Amino acid sequence: MFGRQQQLETPQAIRRTALDLLARREHSRFEMLRKLRLRGAATDQCEAVIDQLQEDGLISDSRFCEAYVHARVQRGFGPQRVGEELRERGVNDALISSVLKLDWRWAETASTTFAKRFPQGPGQDAKERARQLRFMQYRGFPDFQFD
């Protein structure tokens, strides 16, 4: 059955596939629905299975959100970029806002990210400093200030 997607026709097959996905990493409800739909499952059956997984505590948008933010902070991304990525993954704005307000040490992450990318420090001319600021904005630190 290599190279060929199996159709997910029964709730048991959908649940098994969902559990396989969850064994790898946390997923948001939206992501799980999208992935199951891509594998050929019917939307109404997916919704029912995902509802049951939420009741069982196996899918949690808040747990997904915290794990995702933690992973992105470790990679040097800031709150603006992480928030946008979470929106793309179907997490609601209230949850995003509450998770981003936790103590993630954004200033420390910004400083570490800057130092890693620019070990020579802030640029000497305006053009270089503008380039450095664009990089930090791209990484999700819109209010970054040179020390």
- Looking at residue 3, what DSSP letter applies? T
Q: Residue 1: its pLDDT value, please? A: 41
**% of the chain surpassing 70 pLDDT:** 96
The candidate with the shortest Cα–Cα distance to 39, out of 89, 4, 5, 1, is: 5
Q: Residue 5: its pLDDT value, please? A: 52
Domain CATH code at residue 55: 1.10.10.10
The yes-or-no verdict on residue 2 having pLDDT over 80 is: no
Q: Residue 6: its pLDDT value, please? A: 58
Q: What is the pLDDT of residues 46-103, one digit of tens each?
A: 999 999 999 999 999 999 999 999 999 999 999 999 999 999 999 999 999 999 999 9
Quick one: CA torsion of 121, 125, 128, 130, rounded to 10 degrees? Answer: 110
Q: Residue 3: its pLDDT value, please? A: 45
Looking at the fold, whether 66 and 25 belong to one and the same domain comes out as no
Residue 125 in domain: yes
Looking at the fold, whether 123 and 91 belong to one and the same domain comes out as yes
Average pLDDT on 17-46 reads: 95
- Residue 141: band (very low, low, confident or very high) from pLDDT cuts 50, 70, 90: very high
Looking at the fold, whether 109 and 64 belong to one and the same domain comes out as yes
Residue 4 in domain: no
Looking at the fold, whether 29 and 74 belong to one and the same domain comes out as no
Domain extent for 43: 11-59
Q: Residue 9: its pLDDT value, please? A: 83
Q: Residue 146: its pLDDT value, please? A: 83
